[in-house]
Chains A and B, each alone.
Chain A
Amino acid sequence: MTEAAVSVTEVRGWVRKRQAAHKERGETLGNFYFALLFIAIVGGMLHRQLAVVFWPSVPNASQLAGVSIIVALIGGLYIALRRLGPLALSRPASSWLLMAPVSRRVLLLPSLGAAMAIAAMTGALGALAIMGHVLARPLAEQVVALPLLGALAANVLLLIALAAQADRWWSGLSDTIAYLLLAAGLAGLVVDSAVHAPRAPAGWPPAGSVLPVVGALALIVLIFFALAVRTLGRTPNDRILEAAKTAGTLADSAFGVEPSFVTDMLERRYWARRKLRSMRLWRRVPVLTAQDLLLLRRRPRRLLWLAGGAALPSLFVSAPGWVLAIAVVLGGLFAGGVTTSNVRTDTGNPWMLRMLGISSRDSVLQRCYVPVALATIWYTAALSLLQILGELPAGPWWALGIVLGPVGGVAAVRKARTGFVNNSILPFDTPMGSFSPGPLIASLAGVDVLLLGVPTIVLIALGNPLDLTGVIIQATLSVLAVRAYLAGTTAKDRVELSTH
């Protein structure tokens, strides 16, 4: 490798000076001041809620829940770090500096530092929340070092993810392990809800074990960090460019309040990595349904998550009945959404629909079958499981799941048909500042259809034994939901899904 010809610090300094020429004096300081003010105001407003999340007045979770959250956090954080890079550059830096004759190591070190700081903060906050919810009080002195342990553990994960970013042979394996840890953690939480596991005993974890673990983790972080810095310059360009695009898309999504940018990016990347073999579309079902079934077959991991997710409403059995009911009804929206990316594609650009020459009525109907089937199976499984766990009274809850399915499926299709967030709606002026309703309206698309699941919400929330009358009422509303949705939003004489 040739010696770097230009100092990165000088180049960055030059760029900063040129940028400063376009800024008003004190603009950066002003931005910093407003950011601090924002954190102080939001912190002041939400300090009670934050206390409930991180440090409740009395510990309220079991030891099993604590261990499960730790396992889920390890898996979840690793997956998030891998999705984000974890080593990324800004889009301008990735375009101009990555290809420039500058030291790669010096170029990437600030990004590594920032990633380590963010990971440490996440780990420390996670550890603090687990301490607050699980550990018996008063806490032993050494246990106070647990947030430090969390920060170090998060950095170990970050440095492993950094090594995986260089496309090692075990990258895929580490991702699978992380997914399994996340699933195991969530399963632990479900079991905890079902069996009402005991609280952590006083003196857990043993105070004497905290500092040695902190020391060991610090040593591991030091060694991994030294190795990472040594090999930093060899991180493949394509990986850094991909992470830079991710960071840029996230920024665009946040700035434009448009979550579909991220969804589309994830979808594109998923399929770009897959190696497919052409298959014949199933002839016995309508053509667009056959396409949805093919898509479903190609996303087995999603189906697995869906199957596991049927147990998640059990997490809310200790909450008020209406919370559990809403969790159940909302679950169908996610279950039905496994194949709705095809609807999103048609909503964004109807070129294929024009090519197929199918009316919007027929295409939406054909696209509804799979989401309705998935939502039906999911609702039936979730309600049956709740009944088996003894959280629902007697009655044919499985039948309620079957008749609720169309509501969840149609809600998922409606959500996919929303398209881009409409940011052209005039903002409201409120005492807290102006408020743009576009993102709120977009986030409610689909949820509005779920309102037709109100009979189910009421039946679960009341906690009375279920009879056939409740099932019939829900069935009637579900049929009405599908018919009204198709009649009101599609037409026999129009190909496009949107009327605009």
Chain B
Amino acid sequence: MSYGSTPVLVDVDLTVAEGAGVCITGENGIGKSTLLRCISSLQSPDAGEIEVFGGPPGSTPEFWRAVATTVEPPTWYPGLTAREHAELVCRAHGVDAEESGVDEALERFGLASHADAIPPSLSSGQKQRLTLALILLRPSKLLILDEPEQRLDPDGRATVAAMIAEYLAGGGSVLMASHDDVFSSAAGMSPISMTDLHPVQA
């Protein structure tokens, strides 16, 4: 995978077992986000093979019902409050909002008092909390998270780390990129350096 004449990912080899949590670490620009984008099917590699749950990643509804990601910046519907976004996501997955604990999740992420706010009016940290709350509320088998600790305060990081750990304990798989070792270890992730995935460095 390269940007113009600059190779970013060369001979990368990574396997994440089902039910495992892997945190990719490495300096800026080493290709962590690009790798996550390729795995999420949001970017096509120049060459190579990617498989998610035994098949190529794609844009099918089945793929996106199994995989939830924060690799892309979120978008918000006009005139829909934070709570209604959460209810919409639950309903689309056939889950009852009350039963799946929308209000508890908003409370846990410190968004209960902002449940009636429209997401664009929230601070960047609150938007990040809401994005993670939506991802963790809906059913999925794999989370692909790009620096989920970004813009979160220490309490927020601890909450998100605990929820990711719960997700792993529930049998889900997590692939994440992060610069925060404390956060990833609190989330129960196994760290792997991007340089270890690159047998041939550009």
The reply to whether A355 and B134 form a contact with Cβ atoms under 8 Å apart is yes
Q: A278 and B72: CB pair below 8 A?
A: no
- A contact residues around B54 at 8 Å (CB): none
Instruction: Tell me which of B19-27, B87-95, B168-176, B186-194 binds A.
Output: B87-95
Contact yes or no, A355 B138, CB < 8 A: yes
Establish whether residues A349 and B75, one from each chain, have CB atoms under 8 Å apart when the complex forms: yes
Q: Once the chains are docked, how many angstroms separate the CA of A313 from the CA of B82?
A: 40
Distance in Å: Cβ of B15 to nearest Cβ of chain A:
24
The answer to whether A281 and B87 touch across the interface, beta carbons within 8 angstroms, is: yes
B6 within 8 Å of A (CB atoms): no
Q: A243 at the A/B interface (Cβ < 8 Å)?
A: no
Kindly state whether residue B59 has any CB partner on chain A within 8 Å.
Answer: yes
Q: Is the CB of B59 within 8 A of A496?
A: yes
What is the CA–CA distance of A222 and B127 in the complex, to the nearest angstrom? Answer: 49
- B91→A272 contact, CB < 8 A: no
Option from B93, B116, B118, B120 in Cβ contact (under 8 Å) with A357: B93
A17 at the interface (CB under 8 A from B): no
B43: min CB distance to chain A, Å: 14
Complex CA gap A176/B77 in Å reads 27
> Does A137 have its Cβ within 8 Å of any Cβ on chain B?
no
CA distance A268 to B120 in the complex (A): 9
A-B contact count (CB 8 A): 109
Which among B58, B77, B82, B97 is the interface contact of A291 at CB below 8 angstroms? Answer: B77
Most buried by B among A299, A349, A495: A495
Asked if A27 is an interface residue, CB under 8 A from chain B, the answer is no
Q: Does A3 contact B (CB under 8 A)?
A: no
Q: Of B64, B79, B83, B87, which one neighbours A295 at CB under 8 angstroms?
A: B79
Rounded to whole angstroms, the CA-CA distance of A358 and B89 in the bound complex is 10
- Specify which chain B residues have a CB less than 8 angstroms from the CB of A356 in the assembled complex: 64, 88-89, 92-93
* Interface pair A495/B60, CB less than 8 Å apart: yes
Name the interface size band of chain A.
35 or more
Structural contact, B115 and A274, CB atoms closer than 8 A = no
B81 pairs with A276, CB closer than 8 A = yes
Chain B, residues 77-113, CB within 8 Å of chain A (1/0): the string is 1111111100111011100010000000000000000
User: CB of B201 within 8 A of chain A?
Assistant: no
B-side contacts of A496, CB under 8 Å:
59
Residues in A with CB closer than 8 Å to B97 are 280
Q: How many residues of B contact A (CB 8 A)?
A: 38
B121 CB-CB contact with A under 8 Å: yes
Q: Does B135 contact A (CB under 8 A)?
A: yes
A48 within 8 A of B: no
Q: What is the 8 Å Cβ interface bit string for chain A, positions 333-366, against chain B (1 contact, 0 not)?
A: 0000000011001001101111111110010000
The A281-304 residues at the B interface (CB cut-off 8 A) are 281, 287-288, 290-291, 294-295, 298-299
Please state if A287 and B92 are interface contacts (CB–CB under 8 Å): yes
Give the residue of B58, B74, B84 whose beta carbon is less than 8 angstroms from that of A352.
Answer: B74
List the B side residues contacting A291 at CB < 8 Å.
77, 80, 84, 88
Q: How far is the CA of A267 from the CA of B120 in the complex (A)?
A: 12
Which A residues are CB-close (under 8 A) to B92?
A: 287-288, 355-358
Give the shortest distance, in Å, between A298 (CB) and chain B (any CB). Answer: 5
- A184 CB, nearest partner CB in chain B, Å: 28
CB-CB under 8 A from A492, the residues of chain B are: 61
Q: Any chain A CB within 8 A of the CB of B68?
A: yes
Query: When the two chains form their complex, are residues A281 and B116 in contact, meaning their CB atoms are under 8 A apart?
Result: no
A355 near B61 with CB under 8 A, answer: no
As a 0/1 sequence over residues 36 to 73 of chain B, the CB contacts with chain A under 8 angstroms (1 = contact) are 00000000000000000000001111101100110011
Contact B84 A274 (CB under 8 A): no
* Contact of B116 with A278 in the complex, beta carbons under 8 Å: yes
Residues of B within 8 A of A352 (CB): 74-77
Please give, as numbers and ranges, the residues of chain B lying within 8 Å of A278 by CB-CB distance. Answer: 81-84, 115-116
CB-CB under 8 A from A255, the residues of chain B are none
With known contacts A278-B115, A357-B93, A351–B74 Cβ distance under 8 A: yes
Docked-complex contact B78 and A295, CB < 8 angstroms: yes
B111 → A minimal CB distance (Å): 12
A271 to B118, CA, bound (A): 8
Closest to A496 in B: B59
Q: Which residues of chain B are within 8 angstroms of A274 by Cβ–Cβ distance?
A: 79, 118
Pair A276/B116 contact, Cβ less than 8 Å? yes
Which residues of chain B have C-beta atoms less than 8 A from A22's C-beta?
none
Contact of B87 among A280, A298, A348, A357 (CB under 8 A): A280
State which residues 421-459 of A face B: CB under 8 Å. none
Complex CA gap A18/B121 in Å reads: 38
List A contacts of B115 (CB < 8 A): 278
Kindly state whether residue A483 has any CB partner on chain B within 8 Å.
no
Does A47 reach chain B (CB closer than 8 Å)?
Answer: no
Q: 1/0 per residue A481-493: CB within 8 Å of B? A: 0000000000011
Tell me the smallest distance from the CB of B32 to a CB of chain A, in Å.
19
Q: Contact at A495–B64, with CB atoms within 8 Å?
A: yes
Rounded to whole angstroms, the CA-CA distance of A355 and B72 in the bound complex is: 11
Cα-based distance from A18 to B69 in the complex (angstroms): 48
Residues of B within 8 A of A288 (CB): 92
CB-CB < 8 A to B135: which residues of A? 355
Most chain A beta carbons < 10 A, residue from B79, B115, B116, B121 = B79
Which one, B88, B116, B120, contacts A287 given CB within 8 A? B88
Per the bound structure, the CA–CA distance linking A272 and B69 in Å amounts to 27
Contact of B91 (CB < 8 Å), options: A277, A281, A353, A362: A281
B86 → chain A, closest Cβ, in Å?
Answer: 9
The 6 residue pairs across chains A and B that have the minimum distance between CB atoms: A357-B65, A356-B92, A349-B75, A278-B83, A287-B91, A357-B64
Sample 30 A-B pairs with CB under 8 A, ordered by A number: A268-B120, A271-B79, A271-B118, A272-B120, A276-B81, A277-B81, A278-B82, A278-B84, A287-B92, A291-B77, A291-B80, A294-B80, A298-B79, A341-B78, A345-B75, A345-B76, A351-B74, A352-B75, A354-B59, A355-B89, A355-B92, A355-B135, A355-B138, A356-B64, A356-B88, A358-B61, A359-B60, A362-B61, A494-B60, A495-B60
A sample of 4 more A-B contacts (CB under 8 A), given A268-B78, A291-B77, A345-B75, is A291-B80, A294-B84, A355-B68, A355-B134
Chain B residues packing against A (C-beta within 8 Å):
58-62, 64-65, 68-69, 72-84, 87-89, 91-93, 97, 115-118, 120-121, 134-135, 138
